[in-house]
Structure 1
Amino acid sequence: MDSVLLILIAIIVLFSYRGFRDEAFFRKYEFHIGSIRSGEHIRMITSGFLHADFTHLIFNMLTLYFFAPVVIVHLGVVHFLIIYFGSLLCGSMLSLYIHKDEYYYRAIGASGAVTGVLYSAILLQPDMTLGLYFIIPVPAYLFGIGYLLYSIYGMRTRMDNIGHTAHFGGAIGGYVITLAQVPSMFYENTLMVVLLAIPIVLLFILEKSGKL
């Protein structure tokens, strides 16, 4: 396991733990549309180091722990970090765009960045099999597509407190940045590139038609 990944996980855990114990700290660094629009842009990054509770934190860190090594092996540590923080920023930017007029809107979590890493890993190693609920084997690309379709559903219904918009933005970030780093995938793995693009295209169609 690469030491950079372990250091990143440790920083997120420590930052999140501070947020659990200190509400003022949590509120200062969470994603909050009103604060960001007033100039506190650092929240678009720092919110990715906060979590709602230990379950939220553990789930994200386990996902990162399992899938980041795939990206690191294929692309190296520097490119992994570019994908991680690029996906985090993409998740925040999409959230800001979609919810720009909802000044009360708040969000936290590394899910956008982690989803970007997951999508990157699927592109780089599409023959992976994921364990749905850690039991049911599912091809990685089907999981990725299904996850984003569920995120679109969550963005439309808003029936839970999950930051689906950040997840989707993170996936777009992981997808675009990975293809920019490995453009040969366009002709070496064309089918997978097209399949993983379907929910992304669908999102923009729905947004342009005002159905989000």
Structure 2
Amino acid sequence: MNTFLISIIAANVIFSFTGFNDTSFFRKYEFHIGSIRAGEQLRMLTSGFLHADIGHLFFNMFTLFAFAPVVLSYLGDVSFLLIYFGSLVCGSLLTLIFHKDDYNYRAIGASGAVTGILYAAILLDPDMSLYLYFIPIPIPAYVFGIGYLLYSIYGMKSKSDNIGHTAHFGGAIGGYLITLIKEPEMLTENTLMVVLLAIPIVLLFGLAKTGKL
């Protein structure tokens, strides 16, 4: 397995488990609008390595483990890191934009970075499939990706947890745009997938514009 991928997964596991067992650590590094607007911008990065619980951590790391090798094989280590951290930052920036006036808003999770890698992998290999242990047949990766973001819309509307659902979209946008900038021929060679992956992003902004989020 790639050294960078191992290092990122290890960092997420170590950081998250520290947060599980140390509330003060968790509070110090989580995404918190009030603290960020007071000058603690580092939280926009560190919150991407914290998770709500083991299930949340496992799901994000499983998704990363499944899709990162595609990005690594097509684009290499540097581009993989650019997409991962670029998507993480984009996820935090979109969250800040959406919730800038809610000083008590808190969120955590690698979802932004992971969704960016997910979107990049689907664009690079649109025919790939994913096997989920609870579904005995292969699932087209683009169905998983679109479903992931639609679930995020539900999470944003329900506001039932402090998982960074808004960051999913920022990360998707980051991964989507960075990949298309690096591989612009996809716009003509893979037009259908480019359009399909844009649908949940457009839906998000449509809901936001009409005040339904």
**Whole-angstrom distance in 1 between the partners of 2:119 and 2:167:** 14
**Whole-angstrom distance in 1 between the partners of 2:109 and 2:160:** 18
The structural deviation recorded for 1:137 is: 2.3
Aligned position for 2:32: 32
- Structure 1 ranges of 4+ moved more than 4 A: none
Aligned position for 2:105: 105
Aligned position for 2:122: 122
**Whole-angstrom distance in 1 between the partners of 2:167 and 2:133:** 22
Measured at CA, do residues 165 and 4 of structure 1 come closer, stay the same or move farther in structure 2, by a change above 3 Å?
A: same
**Whole-angstrom distance in 2 between the partners of 1:138 and 1:22:** 38
Q: Which moved more, 1:33-42 or 1:160-169?
A: 160-169
**Whole-angstrom distance in 2 between the partners of 1:211 and 1:133:** 34
Aligned position for 2:45: 45
Asked if 1:23 corresponds to 2:28, the answer is: no
Q: What TM-score do the two structures reach when normalised by structure 1?
A: 0.93
The structural deviation recorded for 1:134 is: 4.4
**Whole-angstrom distance in 1 between the partners of 2:132 and 2:43:** 32
**Aligned-residue identity in percent:** 73
What residue ranges of structure 1 are gaps of 5+ in the alignment? none
Letter in 1 for 2:56: H
**Whole-angstrom distance in 1 between the partners of 2:172 and 2:164:** 13
Aligned position for 1:59: 59
**Whole-angstrom distance in 2 between the partners of 1:76 and 1:119:** 16
Q: What TM-score do the two structures reach when normalised by structure 2?
A: 0.93
Asked if 1:9 corresponds to 2:9, the answer is: yes
Secondary structure of the structure 2 residue equivalent to 1:137:
strand
Root-mean-square deviation (CA), in Å?
1.5
**Whole-angstrom distance in 1 between the partners of 2:20 and 2:144:** 31
Secondary structure of the structure 2 residue equivalent to 1:177:
helix
What residue ranges of structure 2 are gaps of 5+ in the alignment? none
| Post-superposition CA distance 1:55-78 (Å, at most 9, x none) | 222221122112111100000010
The structural deviation recorded for 1:88 is: 0.6
| Post-superposition CA distance 1:152-195 (Å, at most 9, x none) | 23323324443221112111111111111111100110111011
Q: Which moved more, 1:36-45 or 1:196-205?
A: 196-205
**Whole-angstrom distance in 2 between the partners of 1:31 and 1:42:** 9
**Whole-angstrom distance in 2 between the partners of 1:210 and 1:174:** 26
Secondary structure of the structure 1 residue equivalent to 2:139:
strand
Measured at CA, do residues 158 and 21 of structure 1 come closer, stay the same or move farther in structure 2, by a change above 3 Å?
A: closer
**Whole-angstrom distance in 2 between the partners of 1:114 and 1:128:** 17
